[in-house]
Amino acid sequence: MAEDNPSKLTEFEAGLLDWLVENNFHVEPWSTKKAAKQFFVEEDIIYEAVASLTRKVPQRIQVFYKNGALHIAAD
């Protein structure tokens, strides 16, 4: 099983994780476009950061598909 390694998070990844925890993307569908607007970055940066979070802190984030949409649960 993968181990969490939060010490290796970049400042951006840590901020994104905090934002994910504070929001309810496990209930409402995820929008990369909205996240990119929130952080003033390109969508590719968000995709890369979410992918990185799933590797670095797999016990704290879950990306899943439900009812035709992508959802992200984080704690």
What is the per-residue pLDDT across 15-26, written as a single tens digit (0 to 9) for each? 999 999 999 899
Domains present along the chain, CATH in parentheses: 9-74 (1.10.10)
Residue 42 and residue 7: Cα distance in Å, rounded? 25
Residue 5 confidence (pLDDT):
65
Residue 3 confidence (pLDDT):
66
Query: What's the burial of 73, exposed, middle or buried (CB within 10 Å: 0-12/13-18/19+)?
Result: middle
Residue 57 and residue 54: Cα distance in Å, rounded? 6
pLDDT tens digits along 47-69 = 999 999 999 999 999 999 999 99
User: Model's pTM, two decimal places?
Assistant: 0.88
Question: With pLDDT > 70 as the criterion, what percentage of the chain qualifies?
Answer: 91
